[in-house]
């Protein structure tokens, strides 16, 4: 098994201009396979609110739920760095509460946390969290937890000024101590410009080809989540069809008596069988 990925590995990737991969996972067995596949960072994204729990937005998930899923993913992961998304309202009230909640994810097995936004308040939180030794991944561009304020799933950084604004936010995040920054839904030329002006790596979530890394939601990649498909997501599998056909086949087999078969049942020994008199 390859060595554990750490913040040092991630920075080396940037310095050596080597691309790395980030993928979400929410449960033990998926994390195990993703880890075995060699993914560098496994993210327990708050996207799990939508793709695994069926909420309409990511803002509905809380700290306790994120903690449970973090435990499951951490137990399945040996090689990848495990990062947990800090959910909406888990770092917004006081610094002390932010530190406490980030600490809960580390205790649950995460190697770091992701925090959305770069407002002065959030930068201050990030400084506190990194100062106590918790690696923080930043997230700018489109930030889903700000959906109500942004007013829709809108592409960010579409002009020269808007690109400079995101770069400014990213630089502040860098100064606050983040080890990497997700750029979400940004035109790829803007993302390239931002990436070239940062020391820490950028992770593209719909921000094109020139970031240092790519991230996808695993349910999109596996073809499991079908409520909608973001333009930037690539479907590598068709789990929806697999689940549908397997469940249909099972339903038919149960109803026609084909399941279970002789090989799938436990049998009594002769003596007990005679006593029970079943054939």
Cβ closer to ligand KIV: 232 or 260? Answer: 232
Alpha-helical (H) ranges within the chain are 7-15, 28-36, 48-51, 63-76, 95-107, 120-131, 147-150, 160-176, 188-196, 218-221, 239-256, 270-276
Cβ closer to ligand KIV: 173 or 182? Answer: 182
Torsional sign, CA 124, 125, 128, 132: negative
- Residue 63 touching ligand KIV (CB under 6 A): no
C-alpha–C-alpha distance, residues 108 and 121, integer Å: 26
Span of 45-53, 171-179, 231-239, 260-268 interacting with ligand KIV by CB under 6 A: 45-53
User: Which pairs from 224-232 meet CB under 8 Å and 24+ separation?
Assistant: 224/51, 225/50, 225/51, 227/50, 230/206, 231/206, 232/185, 232/205, 232/206
Nearest approach in angstroms of CB 72 to ligand KIV is 16
Residues 6+ apart with CB under 8 A from 42: 22, 23, 24, 25, 31, 34, 35, 73, 77, 80, 81, 82, 83
Span of 26-34, 39-47, 127-135, 147-155 interacting with ligand KIV by CB under 6 A: 39-47
Span of 40-48, 66-74, 102-110, 154-162 interacting with ligand KIV by CB under 6 A: 40-48
- Residue 205 touching ligand KIV (CB under 6 A): yes
Residues binding ligand KIV: number (CB under 6 A):
10
Q: What is the DSSP letter of 4?
A: P
- Using CB under 6 A, which residues numbered 207 to 246 contact ligand KIV? 215, 217
- Residue 134 touching ligand KIV (CB under 6 A): no
| Residue bearing tokens 């033990």 | 28
Cβ closer to ligand KIV: 74 or 182? Answer: 182
Nearest approach in angstroms of CB 131 to ligand KIV is 24
Active-site position among 36, 131, 184, 188: 184
- Residue 24 touching ligand KIV (CB under 6 A): yes
- Residue 46 touching ligand KIV (CB under 6 A): yes
Span of 43-51, 104-112, 221-229, 231-239 interacting with ligand KIV by CB under 6 A: 43-51
- Residue 90 touching ligand KIV (CB under 6 A): no
- Residue 45 touching ligand KIV (CB under 6 A): yes
Query: From the list 30, 47, 145, 202, which residue makes contact with ligand KIV (rule: CB under 6 A)?
Result: 47
> Beta strand 20-24 with 41-44: parallel, antiparallel or unpaired?
parallel
Nearest approach in angstroms of CB 254 to ligand KIV is 36
DSSP 208-258: -SSSSEEEE-HHHHTT---S---TT------HHHHHHHHHHHHHHHHHHT-
Active site residue 184: yes
CA 262 to chain centre: 42
> Where on the chain is the footprint of ligand KIV (CB under 6 A)?
24, 43, 45-47, 85, 182, 205, 215, 217
Active site residues: 184
């Amino acid at each position: 098994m390859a060595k554990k990925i750490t913040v040092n590995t991630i920075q080396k990737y940037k310095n050596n201009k080597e691309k790395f991969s980030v993928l979400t996972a929410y449960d033990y067995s998926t994390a195990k396979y993703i880890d075995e596949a060699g993914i560098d960072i496994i993210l327990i994204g708050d996207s799990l609110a939508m793709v695994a729990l069926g909420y309409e937005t990511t803002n509905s998930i809380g700290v306790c739920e994120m903690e449970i899923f973090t435990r499951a993913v951490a137990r399945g992961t040996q090689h990848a760095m495990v990062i947990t998304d800090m959910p909406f309202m888990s770092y917004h009230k006081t610094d002390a509460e932010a530190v406490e909640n980030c600490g809960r994810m580390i205790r649950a097995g995460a190697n770091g946390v992701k925090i959305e936004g770069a407002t002065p308040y959030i930068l201050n939180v990030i400084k506190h969290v990194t100062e106590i030794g918790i690696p923080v991944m930043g997230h700018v561009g489109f930030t889903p937890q700000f959906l109500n304020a942004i007013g829709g799933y809108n592409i960010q950084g579409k002009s020269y000024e808007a690109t400079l604004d995101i770069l400014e936010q990213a630089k502040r995040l860098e100064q606050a101590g983040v080890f990497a920054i997700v750029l979400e839904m940004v035109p790829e030329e803007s993302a390239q410009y931002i990436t070239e002006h940062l020391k820490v790596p950028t992770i593209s979530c719909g921000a094109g080809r020139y970031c240092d890394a790519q991230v996808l939601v695993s349910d999109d990649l596996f073809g499991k989540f079908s409520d909608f498909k973001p333009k930037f997501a690539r479907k590598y599998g068709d789990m929806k069809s697999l689940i549908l056909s397997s469940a249909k086949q099972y339903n038919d087999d149960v109803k026609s008596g084909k399941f279970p078969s002789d090989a799938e049942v436990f049998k009594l020994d002769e003596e007990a069988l005679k006593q029970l008199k079943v054939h």
